[in-house]
Chain A
């Protein structure tokens, strides 16, 4: 009879109590996995959307640009920068952009816009911008046509084929003015972007702002986003730190990250409370299992089992109950996580509006990562081990003669 078999038989002495304890662990693991899966799924979705719709995983700017996003803080975009970035391991795509504010005018109406000059091919590869075209067509790499966001077009009364007048201040204060045919209308979920974005070819933007060969940012996407830190370090080491700043997407989106951290912390507190309740439940079982068997422990030690080995059997018993509940919890949560990973939840009402206001599509896919599943399993097993301190102490301090007369 191995210790583990003995432990397994012992836990089924009181079937109802074991099942109740395992059920409480099941519930805790089940809820914790669903909550964490939602959190991580939301975080991953947000990351994907932020990265894919705007920043890329990493951006390179002129040093100080992110704090003062002025066209005069632009950099020269030439072959040397392209080669340098392109030769860095894990870099997938790069998208050069020249972004600055301008005034748009159509008919009798005017409105401030964010004008983004970009490489249409690479932009589409990064942000799938062409998929946002709701009327007209996507940017022609050789043409002068522009894309206007739907909200802005609606405000100005613009349609494809109309001409938009743009006015502004270019590089080093040069006046910028031009007329551009609207080749397409774009839709963004974020009202902020939907009411102000205008896209044109990079060359056209450089011409408009008199910023020949200049860009304000170079977005970089990675082959493996999990290795972002190594790639960031590689890019930083290759670029002149006095001239360039190389930033991760989350460094640029500080507000979004803070919101995320608050929500993640709230979720973690809920899980912590859940585990605390379960911990006390397990502890109750441990106390009962220990105290009702003190005489038996006395017998076992009296016939020759070392107290340490007996303690191991007790810990094994609790771990087996913990594992039974944990594995059942994982088994219960997995189908739900898999289903909503493949078919994300479509949010509605205020929640959906909140997502949209952040520029995020109101979808909530559940994450499926072994890391957080394992960490929850380990957390429960640690709780079980902590509760086992009580019986282990009891056994190590056991006075056999006293125990035998209980």
Chain B
């Protein structure tokens, strides 16, 4: 079952001066439980695509339908609320709230959702244990290593029980051991709890673990490969690739 449908998505920067097509007529869909990497050179449109899928930016044209809701039509307040209940984010530079402990950072999302304290406490502990940080619940981000912070970020992304998690180059700021460790955790969560992960990445280790690899170039999809199936031939430029 598709959880995300992207139709003819275009994002143009500097429309009024010299138009730059960050995305140009992209068509994509994602199924529940995917573990997908979006790859491509710098400036190919990976982050723009993730931002648009996460409702963090507005497209110039096109549709992004998540769970039967076209998020491009949502007003700001409803879009924020939609994100809170449906999308988890993991950022390249962790972006935890520095004044909150690991537990409070994870709990923060559930608090925004209005989850009661008892349930929050239980789930926070469970999530932090699942990312191997059961013993660091009271540590603030400043006292955690980069890898530990990113694991807290993953726990935070999972806290809202989202339909999918968008991770923008999650291993870019991590050493190889931490990156490996993080990938194992995310893969395990995907495998055991059927959580959908969509990454943008340059990291070959992430690409190696991904079961689907989408390649972007100049704002267009030039490759979409399912690891367990023979690669699909890329479509002519400008048409994008759907599944």
Binding site for B on A (CB under 8 A): 1, 6, 9-10, 12-13, 295-296, 299-307, 399-401, 404-405
CA distance A307 to B112 in the complex (A): 12
For the complex formed, measure the closest distance between the CB of A136 and the CB atoms of chain B, giving whole angstroms. Answer: 77
| A304 and B84 contact, Cβ closer than 8 Å, known pairs A1-B107, A400-B57 | yes
Q: Tell whether B172 is near chain A: CB-to-CB under 8 Å.
A: no
Given contacts A302-B89, A304-B113, A305-B112, contact A6 B100 (CB under 8 A): yes
Q: Is B54 an interface residue (CB 8 A)?
A: yes
Could you list 7 examples of A-B contacts with CB < 8 Å?
Answer: A1-B104, A1-B111, A6-B99, A303-B83, A303-B84, A304-B85, A404-B51
| Bound-complex Cα distance A401 to B55 (A) | 9
Residues in chain A near residue B6, CB distance under 8 A: none
| Residue among B47, B54, B98, B99 making CB contact with A302, cutoff 8 Å | B54
B95 touches A299 (CB 8 A): yes
B interface residues with partner A (beta carbon < 8 Å): 47, 51, 54, 56-57, 76-77, 80-81, 83-85, 89, 91, 95, 97-100, 104, 107-109, 111-113, 156, 160
Which of chain B's residues has its CB closest to A403's CB? B56
> Which residue of chain A has the shortest Cβ distance to B50 in the bound complex?
A401
Contact A1 B108, beta carbon cutoff 8 Å: yes
Question: 11 extra interchain contacts, Cβ-Cβ under 8 A, other than A299-B95, A304-B84, A304-B109?
Answer: A9-B99, A10-B99, A13-B98, A296-B95, A299-B97, A303-B83, A303-B89, A303-B108, A304-B112, A401-B51, A404-B51
CB distance from A91 to the nearest CB of B (A): 62
Q: Which of A6, A9, A302, A399 meets B83, CB within 8 Å?
A: A302
A296–B97 touching, CB < 8 Å: yes
- Contact of B97 with A300 in the complex, beta carbons under 8 Å: yes
List of A residues within 8 angstroms of B100 by Cβ: 1, 6, 9
Whether A295 lies near B95 (C-beta < 8 A) is: yes
- The answer to whether A13 and B99 touch across the interface, beta carbons within 8 angstroms, is yes
Expressed in whole angstroms, the Cα–Cα distance for A293 and B91 within the complex equals 16
Q: Determine how close the nearest CB of chain A comes to the CB of B199; give it in whole angstroms.
A: 16
A12, A296, A300, A302: which contacts B56 (Cβ < 8 A)? Answer: A302
| Distance A307 CA – B76 CA, assembled complex (angstroms) | 9
Q: Quick one: given A6-B99, A401-B56, are A304 and B81 in contact (CB under 8 Å)?
A: yes
Residue of A nearest to B112 (CB): A304
Given contacts A6-B100, A295-B95, contact A303 B51 (CB under 8 A): no
B80 touches A305 (CB 8 A): yes
Which residues of B lie under 8 Å from residue A13 when comparing CB positions? 98-99
- Interface pair B80/A404, CB less than 8 Å apart: no
Q: In whole angstroms, how far apart are the Cα atoms of A400 and B56 in the complex? A: 6
Report Cα–Cα, A400/B80, bound state, in Å. Answer: 10
- Name the A residues within 8 Å of B80 (CB-CB): 301, 304-307
A284 to B154, CA, bound (A): 36
Instruction: Give bound CA distance, A6 to B81, whole Å.
Output: 21
- Chain A residues whose CB sits within 8 angstroms of the CB of B89 once the complex forms: 302-303
B84 CB contacts on chain A under 8 angstroms: 303-305
Q: Which residues in B have their C-beta under 8 angstroms from that of A1?
A: 100, 104, 107-108, 111
Q: Top 10 closest A-B pairs, CB basis?
A: A304-B84, A401-B57, A9-B99, A299-B95, A400-B56, A401-B51, A401-B56, A304-B112, A1-B104, A304-B83
Nearest A-chain residue to B98, judged by Cβ = A13
CB contacts (< 8 Å) of A301 on chain B: these are 80
- Min CB–CB distance A153 → chain B (angstroms): 77
Q: Decide: B77 and A306 in contact? CB cutoff 8 A.
A: yes
Q: Is the CB of B160 within 8 A of A304?
A: yes
Q: Least Cβ distance of B159 to chain A in Å?
A: 9
Among A295, A296, A304, the most chain B Cβ lie within 10 Å of the Cβ of A304
CA distance A295 to B76 in the complex (A): 18
Which residues does chain B contribute within 8 Å of A10, judged by CB atoms? Answer: 99
Residues in A with CB closer than 8 Å to B112 are 303-305
Which residues from chain B contact A302 at a C-beta distance below 8 Å?
54, 56, 83, 89
Distance of B109 from chain A, by nearest CB (Å): 6
User: How distant is A317 from chain B, measured CB to nearest CB, in Å?
Assistant: 11
Identity of the chain B residue whose Cβ is nearest the Cβ of A402 in the assembled complex:
B57
- A404 proximity list for chain B (CB < 8 A): 51, 56, 91, 95
Chain A's closest residue to B88 (CB) is A303
**Bound complex: CA of A9 vs CA of B81, how far in Å?**
25
- A307 partner residues in chain B, CB cutoff 8 A: 76, 80
Say how far A404's CB is from chain B's closest CB, in angstroms.
7
What are the residues of chain A within 8 A of B56 when measuring CB–CB? 302, 400-401, 404
User: What's the least CB distance linking A309 to chain B, in Å?
Assistant: 8
CA of A401 to CA of B84 in the docked complex: distance in angstroms?
Answer: 16
